[in-house]
Amino acid sequence: MEHPKICILPTKFTMTILNSSTMLKMTILLSLTFLFSNVYSQKKYDNEIIAEGGSKIKVRPDLAIFTLTVEKRDTVEKNAIKMLNLEIDELVKSLYKIGFTNKTIKISDYDISSSQNDEDKKRYTASNVLKLEFGLDTKLIDALYKEIQEAGLKDLDISFDTKVSDSLEKITRLKLVQEAIADAKANAINITKALDIKLIRVKQVLKYKDGILGPPPAINQIKFTPPKIVGDTQISYTTSFDKFEVEDVELEEKITIVYEISR
């Protein structure tokens, strides 16, 4: 009696067909998903425009900064320090005379270093840097230069600079942001007219193309009261500060606005 033969080949062939069919369906599904995703993405970006705006302004600095550097050298460390302290004392006395106090005179740096000279001997350098920062006042600046000149200080270097105070800069930038937004809006309106489209709403506001522009912080105006100049009615100007203004500082803000549109 012969036993029936079992053929496994058709079963394997059927499984192969099922796997191929499944792969075909997955391929079609992924293709459709990719297609619809592209269509949706295209539609999404077709419904918006980007408008940029900017504003600049020149501001007169309201702070004066003086850096006063005294440096003394000697082959003996104690002598260099002693000479430095004596000259600093004379400098501070001059500052006191025109109204500066210990609260307005700041120590920026104090350093003692050594080096070898040509004769292979140690030479010590002692230096002290004082900094003054006050509301820009040409009369006070002139009095400062005059007093220091009369003190006859030998090893004093003076550096003058100006800057815009934090409070003035914040107030100015708030105004610049408002103007930059108005500029961006005007640009957006021009675009809509040219393309015959309508603005629906603001989707996003960006500042400097980085962080999102939030509500402006609370701004408190800081008033700087310069020292009272002793005998200021008797001062006759000896510098150019009574003739010329200090250089202005340019501040700028840029805004990018994303609008939703309809055709």
Task: Tell whether 10 is covered by a domain.
Answer: no
pTM of whole model > 0.75? no
From 118, 133, 163, give the residue that closes a domain: 163
Q: Do 188 and 151 share a structural domain?
A: no
Residue numbers of the domain that contains 170? 48-60+166-229+249-262
Mean pLDDT of the chain: 78
From 128, 163, 198, give the residue that closes a domain: 163
* Number of compact structural domains in the chain: 2
Mean pLDDT of 223-251: 59
Task: Tell whether 145 is covered by a domain.
Answer: yes
Residue 113 sits in a domain whose CATH number is 3.30.70.2970
pLDDT value at residue 253: 94
Q: What's the per-residue H, E or C state across the chain?
A: CCCCCCCCHHHHHHHHHHHHHHHHHHHHHHHHHHHHHHHHHHHHHHCEEEEEEEEEEEECCCEEEEEEEEEEEECCHHHHHHHHHHHHHHHHHHHHHCCCCCCCEEEEEEEEEEEECCCCCEEEEEEEEEEEEEECCHHHHHHHHHHHHHHCCCCEEEEEEEECCHHHHHHHHHHHHHHHHHHHHHHHHHHHHHHCCEEEEEEEEEECCCCECCCCCCCCCCCCCCCCCCCHHHCCCCCHHHCCCCCCEEEEEEEEEEEEEEC
Q: Do 188 and 137 share a structural domain?
A: no
Task: Tell whether 54 is covered by a domain.
Answer: yes
Q: Do 195 and 105 share a structural domain?
A: no
From 108, 139, 163, give the residue that closes a domain: 163
Report the share of the chain in percent with pLDDT over 90: 57
Q: Do 154 and 120 share a structural domain?
A: yes
Residue 193 sits in a domain whose CATH number is 3.30.110.170
Regarding predicted confidence, which is higher, 120 or 83? 83
Task: Tell whether 25 is covered by a domain.
Answer: no
Q: Do 92 and 52 share a structural domain?
A: no
Q: What is the pLDDT of residues 101-147, one digit of tens each?
A: 999 999 999 999 998 877 778 899 999 999 999 999 988 998 999 99
